[in-house]
Amino acid sequence: MILLAALILGLLIGWGVSRWQHVPYRAPELRHLWLVPASLIPQLAASYWPRLWGKVPVAAAAAVLPVSLVGFLAFVLLNRRLPGMPVLLIGLVLNLAVITLNGGWMPVSPETASHLPGGSPPESAAVGTRVDDKSILLRAEDTSLEFLADRFLLPAMGGYRAAVSLGDMFIAAGAFWLLARAPDAPHPQRRDDA
């Protein structure tokens, strides 16, 4: 949710600045764009297709998210010279670290999960169970790198509320910067009179 908002806002601001400067908006020239869907599709299938949850072995499902993040890391590294990509890279590394050290899932505490739609009181939460997407319920004291877990609650919008990690915030900031950056004004060619 935070990434989608950052992408839309970045695109709108980039387009607005371009209009204000009377130059066409130029999307960043991304190389190896095929890595994005190649990394995203397995993650979406494993995370958001509940019918697969019972059929995919837990170890295989837990490997999907870290492998997916490695694909995104490769994409960002190949495009690292673009504005915003270094910030995005930091976010991916932070998320990969916390996910890898917590069994392949993004940890969320029962206290944080209790504030999400459908959340139950922390004392009745089944710690160690998978939440509806890429997350797993873990107590703060049982979480490696807990400060990097999904622990920040976004404001509720339209009945929807999400928890995000510090890495998610860096990823969103990098994506925003990538799209919102003002285009370089074209420089007129200088002619030598001599």
Residue 55: per-residue pLDDT: 64
pLDDT, averaged per 10 consecutive residues of the chain (194 residues), comes to: 89 91 89 94 72 64 87 96 96 96 91 78 68 80 93 83 93 95 51 45
Residue 185: per-residue pLDDT: 44
Residue 49: per-residue pLDDT: 64
Residue 132: per-residue pLDDT: 60
CA distances from 12 to 18, 23, 85, 155, 180 (A): 10, 15, 19, 22, 7
Question: pTM for the complete prediction?
Answer: 0.84
CA dihedral over 163, 62, 127, 50, signed as positive or negative: positive
CB-based contact 99:148 (threshold 8 Å)? no
